[in-house]
Amino acid sequence: MNLSNMYQEVILDHYKSPRGKGLQETFGGEAHHVNTTCGDEITVRVQLSEDGNSIKKISYASTGCSISQASASIMFEQIDGKNLTDFNKSSEEFLAMMQSKGKFEPNEDLLGDGVSMIGVAQYPARIKCALLSWMAAKDAIIRAKGE
Ligand code: ZN
């Protein structure tokens, strides 16, 4: 099995068995994002820790294509419980990878299963699908911080 097939398996697995899907009742910030070109939608809720420095709990509800759904599951797995510095690093790494047209050496420590999305970066029409959940999470965090 080559790398590209393996990555497709990872994406398919997240799509079929999404991690952390389902909105939590308690949250400090919420963001709803829509990818109009594809029809993907996501709502992300974030509860920050008392000191405001880390993500105590993140949850989401989403509908859409396999890329957007898998990306939301991967995002959850990678950032739930992380501090905001780590979230920013992962989020910036993911954005850089998606804007790289696939010419990128992704940092697996920062992205986890997100490295499987590198192939998507070669398809401009699908980049928004992959970025949707990360952008919504970023917005939800900003709202949770009350900025
Ligand atoms: Zn999509």
Lookup: tokens for 116: 């499987």
Mean pLDDT over 25-53 rounds to 97
DSSP state for residue 52 in the 8-state scheme: S
Report how far residue 36's alpha carbon sits from residue 112's, in angstroms, rounded to the nearest whole number. 27
Q: Is the dihedral of CA 127, 108, 116, 143 positive or negative?
A: negative
Distance 36 CA to ligand 1 centre (A): 9
For residue 26, the model assigns a pLDDT of 95
Distance 127 CA to ligand 1 centre (A): 8
> Residue 41: which H helix or E strand, with range?
strand 40-48
Lookup: tokens for 66: 């396999």
Q: Which is nearest to 55 in space by CA: 33, 24, 28, 73?
A: 28
Distance 65 CA to ligand 1 centre (A): 4
Lookup: tokens for 136: 């919504």
> Residue 62: which H helix or E strand, with range?
strand 55-63
For residue 90, the model assigns a pLDDT of 98
For residue 1, the model assigns a pLDDT of 58
Task: Tell me which residue range forms the domain holding 85.
Answer: 3-145
Mean pLDDT over 22-31 rounds to 97
Q: Residue 147 above 70 pLDDT? A: no
Q: Residue 131 above 90 pLDDT? A: yes
Report how far residue 31's alpha carbon sits from residue 1's, in angstroms, rounded to the nearest whole number. 38
Distance 49 CA to ligand 1 centre (A): 31
Report how far residue 49's alpha carbon sits from residue 28's, in angstroms, rounded to the nearest whole number. 10
Mapped onto helix, strand or coil, the DSSP state of residue 34 is strand
Q: Residue 55 above 80 pLDDT? A: yes
Mean pLDDT over 122-147 rounds to 95
Number of domains in the chain: 1
The CATH number of whichever domain residue 37 belongs to comes to 3.90.1010.10
Q: 10 Å Cβ neighbour count for 2?
A: 7
Distance 95 CA to ligand 1 centre (A): 16
Each residue of 63-72: pLDDT tens digit? Answer: 999 999 999 9
Distance 64 CA to ligand 1 centre (A): 6
Distance 12 CA to ligand 1 centre (A): 14
For residue 4, the model assigns a pLDDT of 81
102 versus 27: which is more confidently predicted? Answer: 27
